[in-house]
Structure 1
Amino acid sequence: RFMVKDSGIGIPPELQSGLFQPFTQADSSTTRKYGGTGLGLAISKRLAEGMGGKIGVESSEGRGATFWVTLPVSVGTEDQSSTWPDARLRMVMLAGDTPENRKLWGMYFENWKIPYAAADNFSDLQKRIGELGAEGIAPDAVLLFDPIEDISVLRAGQILCEAGYHAICCLSGPDAELKASLETKGISVLQKPLKQSSLLDMLMNQKTVSGISARESSGQQEALPRILLAEDNGVNQRVAVHMLGKLGYVVDVVNNGEEAVEALRRENYGMVFMDCQMPVMDGYQATAAIRHLESEGHTPIIAMTANAMEGDREKCIRAGMDDYISKPLEIARLQEVLFQWGRISRGKKILSRESAEVIDLSHLEGIFGDEREVIADLLELFMDSTLNLRDRIWSEMSEQAQGCAHLLHELKGTAANVGAHSLENLARNMELAAAEQDWEGMKELASELDFEVRLAAEFVKKYTGETNAGF
């Protein structure tokens, strides 16, 4: 039995029976108050029942909700502990979050054979660090879950960094400004939902109290990802290549955005450093083209610009870039960016839109196997949801309404569920623009939304037609 609890407004009994039906909404006021049920719960119900299990909810108005899933599984016989590398960390501490989540992360640390200690809040954390210090034990890392009840996470991380501790902040939602502030202070950042692999990789690659990374101490060094540098200035090229080379990276150089797009068609890169102002095609246009052509996965793109002005970072993020670094480059900041993004690259070879699948069928086949009829049914549900969301997004956008970001967040999630990666990336960029009330930026992206939805509709129509015809 798996349970997910929240402490929100709760769900009245008369609405609970329709929660797991696709797109069930009692009325417009219900949608505004509780949100549309969307496609996620309907997919979850089908998955649970397909595995021989059940799904349900327990809730009362004003008291939050508990969603649960039961699955018939047997106890494994193979010892899984050997599948995790030996992290060789002396101690990790975590503070904030709910008691249930702290307990869950404690189980993960035990599985990784990493000693840990948990604290309810920052005052408790400081007390625990002091107690451990009296025993000669210093934590190799401190995990901070935002929000922490008695202090801002930025201030907490700053205090820890100034004291010489490695602080890792787990943000509960997209906040580009907070993320930038944290990283400027030398605080590592992860985003919820937090993956075990992302946290473990960050812990394994950090410097321990001995000055050697945990991965190096366990003898498991990995080849560093190949980097693409898009920069038209020869001096800047030499400086960047020299710095990256000193850090052990192999760098390929191109002179403009058009060449960057072509290079990514030919090769897989772990990361791209992209100058924003280049001839032929600038960095913003090149990034948009790359995101449009990415068939699967996500290659981190780091903006480089000499214009360190307010709003530049947000402009880069809206264009589809992942982070921002100012020129002239500084080795410390370069290391931070490489540390943050260099291990999460999921770069895959870029295909043309003509040859790339609009929806990644391998994603759905990995869930449903060769059940084409089930996949076709799910895709039709997805398309109904997407068309409904698109119309509501246009309506909210025309009124510059606050609900637009919520709708785009829902679209991003449903697109991710079926493997519609281009639509997912576009919805993510539009969500950021909506959250910042950048309606001009929204208008620029809106035409792409219609294009992506039309491509998805054509794909679904073709797939369902072939399925019904018996192919």
Structure 2
Amino acid sequence: VKFTERGTVTVHVSAQVETDSGVRLKFSIRDTGIGIAPEAQARIFESFIQADQSTTRRFGGTGLGTTIAKQLVGLMGGRIGLESAVGLGSTFWVEVDLEKQPERAGAGSGELAEARVLLVGFPPAQLEPLEQALAGWGAMPIAVATIEEGVARLVTEISLAKPYHSALIYATGDELKLAQRFRRAAPDPAPPSVLAVPREAAVPRFEALSAGFGAVLELPFDKRLLFNVLHSVSAGDEVREGVVRLQDYARRGAAARKLRVLVADDNPTNREVIGKILERGGHSVILASDGEQALDALEQERPDVVLLDRNMPGMGGMETLQAIRLIGRGRERLPVAMLSADVTPEARREALEAGFDTFLPKPIEALRLLEEVQALSAIRPEEERRQEPQPAARAPRQAAAAPLVNTETLGHLEELGSSAAFVEKLVGVFLADSSALLTRVEQALAGRNYHEFRSLLHAMKGSSASIGTDQLTAMCGNLGRLSDAELRLQAPALLRSLGDALAAARGELERYVHERRSVERRSS
């Protein structure tokens, strides 16, 4: 550190005066360096003045830094000064008056504002601080006592306009298998889930991530880490047309190129989440916690794509990219993407101008990450790309190709509730909700409110998928993709088809419930 051959440099910030509208802050920077003699302290803020001319020869510098600092502080209406002793070091300080920002309940919370977060199985001592933290970000925490209640909540409330943003499941080492049942039985589309474990619990982290949990959070939790985890695991509920779902990336086999991806991020949770997304997409991952580790990894491995966080201690993303380009001169260009929580147009432009091939905002969206990584891998010789098979276009799913009721889905729900009575209850709730939704669908279509029509169809589709009525699910998806003009022309026929599909699903579900009830009676 300049002017400090050994020891430390510390920064301290304190509030000097505070009112309702503002605060005076004092920034103090102390070093254990060479110090400044009393006679030189009076002149240190003058242009081209240094305390000792030998300093320039030993450490460099023009003597302008303190002068510029004084001018900037003056423009801000503040004061600057120093305290120093030769051989002991110096403390430079700045005082400025700043306005307070108005308080906002969800300040900085972004997508957490009004988000419904399901909390499953937490003891009261762990639950209360968790609810307080979520409420402070503007989220809506909803607590249930058991895994079964959690799944029942998801199934019965999936038809709401605002589904769950995410789910946090409490588990000790002995309860991991029970928590995994939540993942298996949760309706599709299920909210991203986080496993929360006491710090002393022996829970195998890798096993939890392999089971489908987006992250593992230790308790008692760090509030900043919880905030990052909830943003990181969130990947959205809808599958956009033409976008392959996350789990489908791993099933495409030779149609998708398996890549080696180097990820450098100083946040361990972000690294873990990004790595897991890439692995589930069929790729292999090399993880680094800063730029220097990333460069070390590049000496040992040749990845296909590199992802660099912008702000890392030591060597940040910008500096690491410069080193990569310098080292790679004369070789095939290595595609590099920037990861950053700064999503302003200026940050994106700065990254692209610096030589990054693309810019990925945080929190990371899983599907977008996989799409971008595949796109980056295309930055290579055309001959190599031509040798690789291309994925076939996905044909629209036809309702007739789907079973009327998926008994496997119903079987999973029955396994979760340990009885046919649990499924019977869910079926009853589903049929009541769907009938009410159908009435609202008819009203929206009659009023030509096509935005509302599509929203209601999406709700019915989610509810239908959770209970296993696949044919109705497919029909809702197909109807939701029709244009406004098609909806105007086909409204009566569409309503008849939807009503018939729901009636058929009702009959099949009631038949299934009756049969399972009979089987239970015979076996009891």
Same fold by TM-score greater than 0.5: no
Which TM-score tier does this pair reach, normalised by the shorter chain? 0.3 to 0.5
TM-score w.r.t. the length of structure 2 is 0.39
Larger radius of gyration: 2
TM-score w.r.t. the length of structure 1 is 0.43
Higher strand share: 2
